[in-house]
Amino acid sequence: MPLRIIKSPHKMQAMAESFRRQGKTIGLVPTMGAIHDGHLKLVEIAVKRADIVIASIFVNPAQFGPNEDFGKYPRSFKSDCQKLNAAGADIVFYPSVDDIYPPGYSTNIDIGRIGEILEGTRRPGHFKGVATICAKLFNITRPHIAVFGQKDGQQLAVIRQMVRDLNFDLQIVKGPIVRTKSGVALSSRHAYLSAEDLAQATVIKRSLDLAVGMMERRIRSAKVIESQMRMMIDSVPDATVDYISFNRWDDLAPVKRLYGEIMVSLVVTIGRVRLLDNVIVNVPSWGRPGY
């Protein structure tokens, strides 16, 4: 069917319920717009798993801090719809801020510890806003699956935790990180970067590759690996490390010795833009570890 644009939450919910009654499987890809190939990969995954694919576009004010870029966040609705249509999405859910947060709105979801570490430390309230909007989108679009990219690793972990804790009847699917040819994880905030900035940002992926290589050589000390990553990043003039972290993937508990499924995540500022990236590594427990 041709791409449909739905703005009303009530209309979207009624339509989703109708699809469910017909026995159709619904897939949701939540976005804030400024659609790039990373988003389109998530749509591709949803198309393979669902009969009806809904992509939401909503720049959520609740997840932006007072000094962040809500006002200038890139918005390109017409071209976004063209890209989503070409990728196979059936519906774009495009509510207004007043549709989502009407006068008198006061309910929020506190995700707890998993939302207070890493990005949560630097952006207080961010994951409360993320969890709240995702819960609302799940209730409005009634999906059987929702696809989130690994690039925002902590966000993915937060949503998985919320879905488990609140018994949402849907499956969260992890989509891969999509990168430029030079290895930079795609982000809507690339609109803020110059070609020179993007060239310098390649050090982020190279530092993650370094970490993986060290773990493959049985180096199990997070401190030792972090120091080598920092040294590499610090060699790039305009790159500043915000943080490098090693966490268990299942619950994001920080770790010092590396065994099991580990997420190595970091944020590096290039110019004035914070860029997130990560890698998830299954580190074997057998064998004699290095230092």
Q: In whole angstroms, what is the distance from residue 9 CA to residue 239 CA?
A: 42
Is 39 known to be catalytic? yes
Tell which phi-psi region holds residue 97, choosing left (phi > 0), alpha (psi between -120 and 50) or beta: alpha
Catalytic annotation, pick one of 36, 39, 126, 190: 39
- What secondary structure, in 3-state letters, does 120-158 show? HHHCCCHHHHHHHHHHHHHHHHCCCEEEEECCCHHHHHH
- Residue 109, SS3 per DSSP: coil
Closest C-alpha to 193, from 181, 201, 185: 201
Closest C-alpha to 232, from 215, 258, 208, 267: 208
Can you read off the two tokens belonging to residue 257?
């010795």
Query: What is the set of active-site residues?
Result: 39
